[in-house]
A and B are shown apart, each in its own frame.
Chain A
């Protein structure tokens, strides 16, 4: 019987005939931690007296969650991580370098890789056909030391995509609808594997958004095959040599199949305090918004910023509504400057943050007060995530976010002129 993408990659990297349900030990092609999980990872590494990294050139530390450091405590965590990088020779992406998952996609991973990160959104790299998953600090510390880890080979759910997005609808709306329909634990321990004739029309930016949020349905990975879109992306990133076609076998065995017709989707918003708590953006008209945040590993890419700029050209933010943008990487920031998007957005009232996580996790650069509401393009709206536990976080696409900037209340992007 044929294999799913997950079974194929884990077979390749474990040297076993890996089938759903098996437990295997797989070699890891890239392992990383970021600045809020890194210090504990390093302490676990030190607690194990591991001394040396298995592969310093495949081990990375990213400074993105609280960078530049907002206070003394985090500054000293950064210092601790820099010291470790100097001692071990691992890769380091210091402040302003951008969000780990975006950098992994841009320049560090390729189809068929196994990637482990001390961050739950490590799944983002599944867009390139990498078996990429988040783990905690102990697991990652052991991968630092051994260059391998154990996995239970996941069952796969096939997501078959048809049709094409209508105006105002984006990949974010697709993934919010998917999570809304299967629930926040609808794919726990499973792989989501995307396929179908509509896949061609999902750009790499779309795929990264979708794979990123696979974990919000509990999935271990969100996998895309490596196809023409992947090849074009890698060529664009000047990494054409990293491309190899990679797909599941025709007779692979899936636990279930879900069909998504892109044409039927509408701009969608997740309401507080759960990602699966979705509603059409139009139904939420009248919900006042104090802050709009466009950025994060979910929607901080050039296409997202371009979409916002197109909607906001010549417009102004609503006086009640603060508007924050954080590009996911320096490459994106520079491209957005060259294309004139940043000028358009600043003229519309945007505050531009350095490449990084910014307001996403309530540490700095846009922390919410009690009673405030934020429309964010991030992936999580859990209670307390962006500051006060009495704040309200709504999740939507960059188009919905930009429309909301103009009106100051949740707005379907199709309803702005």
Chain B
């Protein structure tokens, strides 16, 4: 069971909101890079987020660049999962490849600051603040296996190949 606070963002949060291209020079210095997580969406985010918290987006979360640094800095900030109405394709794959769960559900009813409980195995979100219960869709098997192994690199190390 994952527990934490919701940080709510709107529709169309791009990889430039999450980690702007102008910080590309810090990409080999991850602790410094991570200080800028979500900076162009909420400049105070990195100071407020606590381990276990959730990023809650609207539609098309993570659109834009293929930079895996985007889910990476979110993971480094301690975020335990991303919830969104829909997620851009490359970002989705990148997050799972890093072992960061991405849950597709109707996030309209979740407000900023709500306390959430997420049960990954059952596929449910419980918003303790509002009392609302949500369910999220299942991942395709290959993605679920990658997530369960903690990411793509450990998955390939274990199996040596993709298992469909």
Contacts and interface: CB of A to CB of B under 8 A. Distances in A.
Interface string A354-366: 0000000111000
Given A120-B66, A185-B63, A150 B164 contact: yes
Interface string B45-71: 000000000000001100111111101
A48 B157 CA distance: 6
A36 B90 contact: no
Given A150-B142, A189-B89, A362-B21, A40 B27 contact: yes
B164 A25 contact: yes
B24 A384 contact: no
Interface string B1-23: 00000000000101011001110
Interface residues of B, number: 45
Interface in A201-250: 218, 220
A29 B151 CA distance: 25
A367 interface: yes
A387 B16 CA distance: 11
A343 interface: no
Interface stretch (A141-149, A252-260, A281-289, A310-318): A141-149
Contacts of A138: 68, 94, 97-98, 151-153
Contact of B156 (A74, A122, A145, A362): A145
Contacts of B97: 136, 138-139
Contact of B86 (A39, A188, A361, A383): A188
A48 B22 contact: no
A77 B28 contact: yes
9 contacts: A23-B142, A37-B67, A48-B153, A70-B25, A77-B28, A122-B66, A136-B94, A145-B156, A218-B88
Interface of A: 23-25, 36-37, 39-40, 44, 47-49, 65-66, 70-71, 73-74, 76-77, 80, 117-120, 122, 134-139, 141-142, 145-146, 148-150, 152, 184-185, 188-189, 218, 220, 274, 361-363, 367, 380, 382-385, 387, 389
Interface of B: 12, 14, 16-17, 20-22, 24-29, 39-40, 59-60, 63-69, 71-72, 86, 88-90, 93-94, 97-98, 140-142, 151-153, 156-157, 161-162, 164
